[in-house]
Structure 1
């Protein structure tokens, strides 16, 4: 099997360098591969529009907003779409929306999950038409504000997106990226990455930093050096570490930059598994970049991979909805299929 089949981000006929420079090249190519194409972006936008029309049919004065990875642009091919509906209700209409989604054939009942007892009540389902996962909550405007904050951090730290996207994929394939199962949220992970860049001794702000070195240093810090039970991360005033409150029972203390009284890490109770995974990744990558027996094997592929289902789903999406992309007369198809930063189109 070819290298591009095993590791789809690797480019055919590209002579990857050895060591940490080769890792840098792979991370850069991985990022280009993982970004949504124009087709994928349009499909997601059309799905949001369909949901918005349905919501306005039910509640004409309600406001529909997207947040999370689709708004920030930090989404994987199988990431869900986070939607918040803002309106006035005495009781959140979770069951009303559930019934409407099924009646209008947005979702089959077997894919529908209404988490009405969760700290943040939410409806989760898979869209019948596009097979894209959707999470809908009510009146949680903080998610929109958090997404806008992340956009600012992306502007200040050009390497942030590439670092987050690699680590996010790494955690996802290990089942450590969902808060409801004790993992870490994308927002919390991004805060950890921002702190890492803020306090980096070389003040990494330029886009030319070696991504391989940064990834190794990130895994080393949070896999071996960081004391999760004693230290809290602060992004205020350029970033710092502070002593965690003695009364805290959280495994990781991450004050929300938008509301420092809110510990966004409080539900992450599998932090030791996350720490061990980070330490393992550092050891594996260190061995791989120093190996004299590489034989052009993928360094990044030692720690991340894509399930065949994800690759096939992506291909199906393009085959089924490719007609939604209109190619301009002076634009060839190869140009129209290039990755696009999602938040540049929303």
Structure 2
């Protein structure tokens, strides 16, 4: 086996002959070949692509980098069809996604030159999903429409891509096509069912976005170029004037450009009268929406201007006083005690005036008792609001479960559908998913879920489905819309590795031990969610792992503490802060977290030695399993420490003196995540 340094060096230099010589003369292990192949694909030049084809047969097809990007994603983005074909032949997954949830199709459709229709068609024919979305809600159709890939747009729609799918900004593919001035893509999308009147988060429809470019004659020159390309010649005596039906007919010598989608007269997209009508309706609707807010906006603007003027005047006075103080300090000392005393009093007077400045104010500290009391009131209000939301949501959530269960049983009559997770254990938050597991089936979980996709898509409440069939526990993430509510449902299939039902049963047992355990867990779930640390596959902490950490804290307390605090719901704020401090500074993370399981008498003796450098939460239901072993431990400790410090943080600015403590903890956690 040879040293891989030379292989990497010649791969990076693009030396095909040396790479051939090394691979023919020496034997390299798959990881070394895979890293060299990654280097070749990273450069992406024609020479490096040839090297990649040499290395490919000896590499590991499942290799991916820290961002979850695979060889197939790299090859698709480069745009080399032969390389894509070879990788798929080596069983590279066409449905894999990277850490940003970008699929192979999305990498292929990122801007790299000509329309990658050949690669897109081949990926789709080999199982690629045309309806996956990334973390920002973009689908492959968004990418294709934005980059003007007309053939790829048509191919995606042929494979049932949703033409009106929205991203997180509620932009549809038609929005992006219009915004990028890809007219042919826009025309094709509308012909295939795209709705040009769908509004995004800022109230803009595709019609609004193209009105300034496509309906006011700014593309006459482009129309002339189109006419020349069609052999019609240059229009005589051309001059800039408003487009109307007569001008269009003259400019095109009577040829048909496109039928208006509203009145079917000859024009691109919409003729002028129809466009004006649509735009006037849109403008009137927007004006009606904004009219009630006009007065308040003007008042707010006037108030802000006055505040700004006052701040400027105040700042000017402070600067003048500061200059006087500096001048007084620079005066030469005199022998006269009376003069020195006058200078000292004058300096003290100026200093006292300067202390009124915001940056010189003393910190406003709250007492320990005041913080406990204020936080307790906020926590109580949060839990009451959450209970009210849960009561209103229980009916719609169960109706969604019933509709999906009926659909599953129509496909698999012998199956049974059961609920587990936070909805079953009464730990549901507004951002939580409903977890369903299909039981009484002997088929492969991935095969069952694959067969269910088409059935679930036919349900009226289902808006999108994201399938994760290659995971250890295959999963369908179903997005539903019911009574104006967006409800996420995760569907899996029971097998020996699936412990969801058993976990739910154990969680219910734990919650019965102490009456405060459920409320405290909900407070921490909200904190972990605001910290964007709630997804285990992104090195976050699962709700089950979080509950076990809190239960372990209770388990480690003295009998006196349990008697005083564990069942007193008037001391939730003290328990919350105590747990933050415990896991922020006190807990020794070289220990194992082992929550007692009454069904395993010798539970503590079963566990092997702790693995160093990881968070070891022992699974009470499976002695061979560590929960949260992939969790980012440093980040978790930082979340606890920052939350605790923000609870006690003194106020500097007067506008913050009445700020709510729990609200501040969540807000700072959100800001820290963004930064």
Q: Same fold (TM over 0.5)?
A: yes
**2:540 paired residue among 183, 197, 201:** 183
Structure 1 window deviating more from structure 2 (83-92 vs 178-187): it is 83-92
Distance 2:418 2:409 in 1: 12
- Confirm whether residue 221 of structure 1 aligns to residue 574 of structure 2: no
- Structure 2 residue corresponding to 1:259, chosen from 622, 625, 642: 622
C-alpha contact 1:195 1:233 (8 A) present in aligned 2: yes
Q: Where does structure 2 lack aligned partners over 5 or more consecutive residues?
A: 1-368, 669-675
Partner SS for 1:231: coil
Are 1:105 and 2:468 counterparts? no
Alignment of 1:205-284 (within 5 A): 205-208=566-569, 210-228=571-589, 230-236=590-596, 245-246=608-609, 248=611, 251-268=614-631, 270-284=632-646
Distance of 2:649 and 2:604 partners within structure 1: 30
What TM-score, normalized to structure 2? Answer: 0.40
Partner of 1:127: 480
**TM-fit CA distance, 1:63:** 1.2
Take 1:156 and 1:241, find their aligned partners in 2: how far apart are those partners? 20
CA distance in 2, matches of 1:151, 1:24: 25
| 1:28 correspondence with 2:389 | no
CA distance in 2, matches of 1:159, 1:23: 15
The alpha-carbon distance between structure 1 residues 237 and 186, as it changes in their structure 2 partners (threshold 3 A), is: closer
Q: Which residue of 1 aligns with 2:518?
A: 161
Partner residue in 1 for 2:298 = none
Deviates most, 279-288 or 182-191: 279-288
Higher helix fraction: Structure 1 or Structure 2? 2
**Distance change >3 Å, CA 59–CA 304, structure 1 → 2:** same
Secondary structure of the residue aligned to 1:210 is: helix
C-alpha deviation, 1:287, in angstroms? 2.5
Question: 1:32/1:231 Cα in 2 relative to 1: closer, same or farther (>3 Å)?
Answer: same
Shift in CA distance, 179/250, structure 1 to aligned 2, threshold 3 Å? farther
What displacement does 1:41 show? 0.6
Mapped to 1, the partners of 2:574 and 2:604 lie a distance apart of 22
Instruction: Give 3-state SS (helix, strand or coil) of 1:195's partner.
Output: helix
**What is the CA–CA distance in structure 1 between the aligned matches of 2:556 and 2:455, rounded to whole Å?**
48
Asked if the contact 1:158–1:206 (Cα under 8 Å) also holds between the matched residues in 2, the reply is yes
2:393 pairs with 1:40: yes
Q: How far did 1:294 drift?
A: 6.5
Aligned to 1:335: none
Alignment partner of 2:477: what SS? strand
User: Highest CA radius of gyration, 1 or 2?
Assistant: 2
Q: Map 1:13-24 onto structure 2 (within 5 A).
A: 18-24=370-376
Deviation at 1:295, TM superposition (A): 3.8
Give the superposition deviation at 1:205: 2.8
Superposed CA offset, 1:55-75 (max 9, x none): 111111111111110001111
- Shift in Å, 1:305: 5.2
3-state SS of paired residue (2:592): strand
Match of 1:73 in 2: 426
* Higher RCO (CA-CA < 8 Å; seq separation 6+): 1
Q: Which of 147-156 and 244-253 deviates more?
A: 244-253
CA deviations 1:140-191 (Å, max 9, x no partner) are 5521121122122222111111111111111111210111211111011001
Q: Deviations over 1:286-344 (max 9, x none)?
A: 2259x9996432111111259xxxxxxxxxxxxxxxxxxxxxxxxxxxxxxxxxxxxxx
TM-score for the superposition, normalised by structure 1: 0.75
Q: How big is the shift at 1:94?
A: 1.6
Query: Are 1:296 and 2:658 counterparts?
Result: yes
Answer yes or no: is 1:94 the counterpart of 2:457. no
Structure 1 residues 246 and 154 mapped into 2: Cα distance closer, same or farther (>3 Å)? Answer: closer
Q: For structure 1, list consecutive stretches of 5 or more residues without a partner in the other structure.
A: 1-16, 307-346
